[in-house]
Amino acid sequence: MSDATPHPQPVPRPEPQYATMDQQAEAASFGMWVFLATEVLFFGGMLLAYAWLRASHPDGVAEAGRHTKVVIGSVNTLVLLTSSLTMAWAVHAAEHGRRTALTRLLAVTALLGLLFLGLKGYEYHGEWAEHLVPGLNFQENGPHARTIELFYFLYFLLTGIHGIHVTIGIVLIAVMAVRARRGAFSAGYFTPVEVTGLYWHFVDIVWIFLYPLIYLAGRSGP
C-alpha cells in the first residue's frame, strides 16, 4: 500500500515502570476506562437533578421539552453517531497499520465533531434570541415559568459540559491525526488512538442519553 513508509518505523520503548509495550498499552486503556467511570458519575449528578425536576414538576418539564429544537438535536445525534463510526473505523485502520486511512478517518471524525459544535452553537443562538437563557436573559410567563427556567438551566449545564468534552475530544483527535500523519503509529503501536477512541465513544454515549431526555421527553402524549 501507499501507506508504507520509506524509513523504518521507530520502535517505541515502554516507560521504565512497564516491562513491555503490551503491559503499558493495557494500563493506558484500563486507565481510560477508570476515568470514564468517573465521568459517568460526573454526569450522573446532573442527571439526578434532571430526574428530580421531572419527577416533581412533570408538566413544566414537558412544556419546556417542547421548546427545544428537536430537528437540530436529531441532526446532531446523527452527526455524532457517524463520528463514532469513523472513529471506530480509524482504530481499525490503525490496527492494520494503514496510515493514510487512519489520518483521514481521524480528520473526518474531528470535522464531524466540529460540525456538532457548530450546530450546537446555532441552537444556543436561537435559544438566546428566544430569551431562554436562565440567569442572563430568561423571559417566560405562564404557570410553568420557574420549571422551564430550571429545565433550561440544566439543559445549558448538561449540553455545555458535554460540549466541553466534545471540544477536548476534537483536540485529542486532531493531535492523533497529526501524529498519525507523521507516522507515529504502526500496527504494533497505536494505544493513543485506541484510548482517544474510547473517550470519543463515551462522549457519544453521553449524548445518546441526553438526546431523549432533552428533546423527546415533552413530545409524547397529546
Partner 1 sequence: MTTATVTGKPEEPVVATKNYLTEEGTTLRSWLLTRDHKRIAILYTLSLTVFFFVGGAAATLIRLNLVTPAGIFTPDIYNRLFTLHGIVMVWFFLIPSIPNTMGNFLIPLMIGAKDLAFPRLNLLSWYLYMGAGFLALFAILIGGVDTGWTFYTPFSSLYSNGYVVLALAAVFAVGFSSILTGLNFIVTTHRLRAPGMTWYRLPVFVWSNYATSVIMVLATPVLAITLLLVAVERLLRVGIFDPALGGDPLLFQHLFWFYSHPAVYIMILPGFGVISEIVPCFARKPLFGYKFVVWSSIAISVIGFFVWAHHMFVAGISLYAGLVFSLLSYVIAVPSAIKVFNWTATLHKGWISFDAPMLYALGFIGLFTIGGLTGLFVANLAFDVHVTDTYFVVAHFHYIMVGGMVSAYFGGLHYWWPKVTGRLYPEWWARIAALLIFFGFNLTFFPQFILGYLGMERRYYAYPPEFQAWNIFSSAGASVLAVGYVLPFFYLGWSLFRGKRAGSNPWAATGLEWKTPSPPPTHNFDRTPTVTRPPYQYRPEPEPQDV
For position 2 contacting partner 1 by CB under 8 A, the verdict is no
Other beta carbons within 10 Å of 45: 9
How many residues contact partner 1, by CB under 8 A?
A: 38
142 makes contact with partner 1 (CB under 8 A)? no
Which residue, 30 or 122, has its beta carbon nearer to partner 1?
Answer: 30
Among 45, 220, 221, 222, binds partner 1 (CB under 8 A): 45
Applying CB under 8 A, which of residues 39, 72, 81, 209 lies at the interface with partner 1? Answer: 39
CA nearest neighbour of 77 among 211, 206, 203, 217: 211
Cell numbers given for 125: 443562538
Q: Cα(216)–Cα(73) distance, rounded to whole angstroms?
A: 10
Give the CA distances from residue 64 to residues 90, 151, 215, in Å, rounded to whole numbers and listed in that order: 39, 7, 9
Site mask for partner 1 (CB under 8 A), range 54-93, x = bound: --xx------------------------------------
C-alpha dihedral over 198, 163, 150, 216, to 10 degrees?
A: -70
Q: How far is the CB of 182 from partner 1 (least distance, A)?
A: 22
What gap in Å lies between CA 37 and CA 159, rounded to an integer?
Answer: 19
Binding site for partner 1 (CB under 8 A): 15-19, 23, 26-27, 30-31, 34-35, 37-39, 41-46, 48-49, 52-53, 56-57, 134-136, 138, 146-147, 149-150, 153-154, 157
